[in-house]
Structure 1
């Protein structure tokens, strides 16, 4: 007689294992321990064989019968159900190795030492929170542009417009890595061109008027905060790097003898060089007795092993009564970009390279970190000297009478 759930539950353990048949080769094996397993008995190539169908009650009577019927269909087609199962497992294993999860993990492992730790953590978190739950299990070769767009639309729906675009950029890198590794043939990301919303760019508050800049510089000099924060404020306008790059500056990257600070730009992740003016070197030398023994130029007040908090510079500006509509930590970049162009008359390409923006020549090739370096060294020193003049209340209409001449070698 066919089994019933009530009948299966009533089966008790005995001194030895025993089977109770359900029909068409399916039976339940009752172990001496009381555990019950489904078994399907069949003949293939004149050999008696058995196939496990799961454990009861995890595998119900109904599901066990469905598995038996599938196995019988496989037999009817002339195939061995056991071999077919092994083949499926092998295919599934290959799919797991070729999944977005697996390939992204390899990609991140490669980038971990290359990228800034804070940036790495953000990229990893975006993938884990917004991509892997929907697409991570899929073989990368099965992921279409439409699958990615559905995922990115969900990110956009919560107002994270920039995050959606950054996730798209990261996925493009992962697909390129997969193609280079022979694990994919196509990158679907270019097919999403124009499909995502653009965030409305809110300009960062910045002082670009020379007289107001002079007032700000005097406020910074009069700041009564800690020595470390004061020096960070004094360096910010001189170097005009991104706020995160300044607060995470490491002594190992700074060479006072050659007057250069070399690091990977946080936005482009490319090598970048900041020529150090005499004024910047003086500030760094003053900092050495305070933080030169550690990793960071501007360590946290909680631990030398951590960099200064991301809100420190902003909080210091606010404590000086510099309003949020007047100046931001990022505003030092806009100040330099505007005033160097208008007052010192340097070419845009020189300024943009010093801002660590990606700039391309007329042939579409990206300039490298040493491009226009001599001009940039000259510019950084002139900028520092100009800031001194502003600090002292000297405001000129223009420092240079004519547009700066860029290096002949660079121009060609």
Structure 2
């Protein structure tokens, strides 16, 4: 059956009544009706001496007028020496790369790439900043075309405590994209001066005897047992708040009075042994009715999404006790560093070993991982006794003989 006018062109009626087979419109364009009833527009053409066919879409999604226009474009490509199928494949690849270059996708790949070399807490913080602040603001932006102006706008409104890290992460993500061929080499962001200057100062910490006494008494009287216990451990061990909040029973030996923090939780990437005073052991034993047999020592409070106590619960508790701007959760480390040095006469090297501060010198790194264990056992017990005496209003004798001076 012939379904065309004398001109050889298809009509809407001819297409509607077309039976199985090929129905040509001229210039290589034809409608192929499949046994299933599906109707497909195709273009027959020759390129580099070979006959090929290009699929232009399905009818009625692609109408006759559109099919003719697409066929004309394909023939124009042929005149320029480009095969329509090659052009289509190139477009699909470009579309795929464009989708893969979306900022949230590239940022997630960057986080995965960095994770093996980062401590768990470092990765958690980076993921938090990216997922909470950067990705939502840049969700429609391609890393290929990300501009400095867009990056600056994304940084606006991020809390000052996180904005500097966010700026650094943006720079690293862009560098990663260039390495992966998703962004032109050398096209970096100009973010210097993008953030308002903030007087960082020091992390608020109680370092005056009277202030420390108030803090110790306030913590001891805090009504929520789990939060009180976590604050007490943070105060007695001088470890980072996030590490305390994620403390696991598998890391603790109550009989040996030791807490061994695994490498993945440490910035130094080395396991850290923390001696536990009698008071710290008693505090942990008091947590057994709450979390014995579970992974984490400090269980999550009501409505918390983490499987363990969230570190923000500690900050909120300090604010509720009236210490906002006076003492932060991280301030327990500064309090220990200052008070143990000035009031107990503890050697600086011993304090640094307890705080597990990273050393730039490789020899110092090795030294700090093996030294001062016995000294720190005495120091941490003296520190706990010192805090008890402060709470009770007593005096404290310096510990110079027990801890020794820097070697």
Structure 2 CA distance for aligned equivalents of residues 312 and 154 of structure 1 = 31
Structure 1 match to 2:247: 249
CA deviation map 1:71-100 (0-9, x unaligned): 334433445433454466567667877887
Question: 2:266 and 2:167 mapped to 1: Cα distance?
Answer: 15
Residue 183 and residue 115 in structure 1: after superposition, are their counterparts in 2 closer, same or farther (change >3 A)?
farther
Change (3 A) 1:118 1:56: same
Range that drifts further, 170-179 or 7-16: 170-179
Q: Could you tell me which residue of structure 2 aligns to residue 129 of structure 1? A: 136
TM-score (norm 1): 0.72
Residues 1:288 and 1:371: Cα distance change in structure 2 (over 3 Å):
same
Describe the superposition over 1:308-335 as per-residue Cα deviations: whole angstroms up to 9, x where unpaired: 244543454456x534344443332332
1:97-176 equivalence runs, <5 A: 101=105, 104-105=108-109, 107-108=111-112, 111=115, 115-116=120-121, 119=125, 122=128, 125-126=131-132, 128-131=135-138, 133-135=140-142, 138=144, 147=146, 149-170=148-169
Alpha carbons of structure 1 residues 45 and 307: separation in structure 2 relative to 1, 3 Å: closer
Gaps of 5+ in 1: 408-412
The answer to whether the 8 A contact 2:31-2:41 is kept is yes
Q: CA deviation at 1:230?
A: 3.3
Residues 18-57 of structure 1 mapped to structure 2, 5 A cutoff: 18-19=22-23, 21=25, 23-29=26-32, 36-56=39-59
Residues 154 and 174 from structure 1, CA distance in 2 versus in 1: closer, same or farther, beyond 3 angstroms? closer
Deviations 1:218-271 (A, max 9, x none): 333344x24433322322311233333222211112233262331457683734
Contact conserved, 1:265 with 1:356, CA < 8 A, in 2?
Answer: no
Cα 1:385–1:306, aligned 2, differ >3 Å: closer, same or farther?
Answer: same
In the other structure, the counterpart of 1:410 is none
TM-score (norm 2): 0.72
The corresponding residue for 1:210 is 209
**1:279 counterpart residue number:** 279
Cα gap change, 1:154 to 1:29, in 2 (>3 Å): farther
Cα-Cα RMSD: 4.7
Specify whether residues 227 and 60 from structure 1 end up closer, same or farther in structure 2 by C-alpha distance, changes over 3 A only: same
Number of aligned pairs? 392
- SS state at 1:41 partner: strand
